[in-house]
């Protein structure tokens, strides 16, 4: 489990929160009474839920004490609590279980998704957003750099870290358990200041397990320099000096029968 840093994560708050806005907008529930934001992080996705469903009783669950501290300061009305989604057992079920940019960090989706569906009230929904960018230079360059001889062994676990399935996998998993499923993908094209900014973005999330696996700051700095050289090639500079950074995401909303 990487160590989470709320400040680092929130450096790109607008870009990271837009998928939560888009996911929340597509949820076809009239007035869900009880909502939980699974992997609420610093509270940015929970704030989206509070504005989309102002009447709901909101809870925010996260395994990171650091993230929860920032979340707590953002809204005193929400029931924030620390738990691991793989072992969490709610006392009462929910009308909406929402999880934006979290479950890729959690292994064994074959078990985790059906478990979450079990915690839904009749007529409720499970809404999930996962990155679907594993073919992109962002991800592939990290894998390639980590496979260089000097880092290959140390980063072996980091390469296995992210859990990801195909859209067909999630459909087959959820279709027998729910009555209606909406599935879609969006490729966001973030406008970044530079290739360095893309590296900075990734320091807040997917790069963390790799950097944490390396022996010291020297190694981490060399690893980042290798990566940056590849990002400069993969993400060319526009006429005005900016860099286009495409990022694909998969969205799932699965509804429970009434």
Q: Which is nearer to ligand SAM, 32 or 41 (CB)?
A: 41
CB 136 within 8 A of CB 246: yes
**Shortest approach of ligand SAM to residue 184 CB, angstroms?**
17
Q: Which is nearer to ligand SAM, 170 or 202 (CB)?
A: 202
**Shortest approach of ligand SAM to residue 107 CB, angstroms?**
9
Q: From CA 85, how far away is CA 120, in angstroms rounded?
A: 14
Q: Which is nearer to ligand SAM, 32 or 209 (CB)?
A: 209
**Shortest approach of ligand SAM to residue 149 CB, angstroms?**
31
**Shortest approach of ligand SAM to residue 48 CB, angstroms?**
8
**Shortest approach of ligand SAM to residue 1 CB, angstroms?**
7
Q: Which is nearer to ligand SAM, 14 or 152 (CB)?
A: 14
**Shortest approach of ligand SAM to residue 173 CB, angstroms?**
18
Q: Which is nearer to ligand SAM, 62 or 95 (CB)?
A: 62
Binding site for ligand SAM (CB under 6 A): 4, 16, 20, 39-41, 44-45, 62-64, 67, 84-86, 100-102, 105-106, 205
CB 192 within 8 A of CB 198: yes
Using CB positions, name the residue nearest to ligand SAM: 41
Q: Which is nearer to ligand SAM, 44 or 146 (CB)?
A: 44
Instruction: Please tell me the number of Cα atoms within 13 Å of 72 on its side-chain side.
Output: 10
């Amino acid at each position: 489990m990487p160590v989470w840093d709320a400040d680092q994560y929130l450096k790109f708050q607008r870009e990271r929160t837009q998928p939560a806005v888009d996911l929340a907008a597509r949820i076809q529930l009239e007035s869900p009474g009880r909502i939980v934001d699974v992997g609420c992080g610093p509270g940015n996705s929970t704030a989206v839920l509070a504005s989309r469903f102002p009447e709901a009783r909101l809870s925010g669950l996260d395994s990171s004490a650091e993230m929860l501290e920032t979340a707590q300061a953002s809204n005193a009305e929400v029931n924030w609590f620390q738990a691991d989604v793989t072992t969490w057992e709610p006392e009462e079920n929910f009308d909406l279980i929402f999880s934006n940019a979290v479950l890729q960090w959690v292994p064994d989706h074959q078990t985790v998704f059906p478990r979450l569906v079990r915690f839904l009230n009749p007529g409720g929904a499970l809404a999930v957003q996962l990155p679907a960018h594993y073919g992109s230079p962002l991800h592939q360059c990290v894998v390639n750099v980590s496979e260089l001889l000097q880092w290959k062994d140390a980063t072996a676990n980091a390469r296995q870290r992210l859990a990801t399935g195909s859209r067909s996998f999630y459909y087959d998993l959820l279709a027998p358990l729910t009555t209606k499923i909406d599935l879609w993908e969006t490729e966001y094209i973030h406008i970044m200041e530079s290739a360095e900014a893309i590296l900075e973005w990734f320091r807040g999330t997917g790069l963390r397990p790799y950097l944490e696996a390396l022996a010291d700051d020297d190694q981490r700095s060399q690893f980042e320099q290798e990566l940056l050289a590849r990002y400069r090639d993969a993400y060319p500079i526009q006429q005005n000096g900016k860099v286009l950074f495409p990022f694909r995401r998969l969205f799932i909303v699965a509804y429970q029968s009434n």
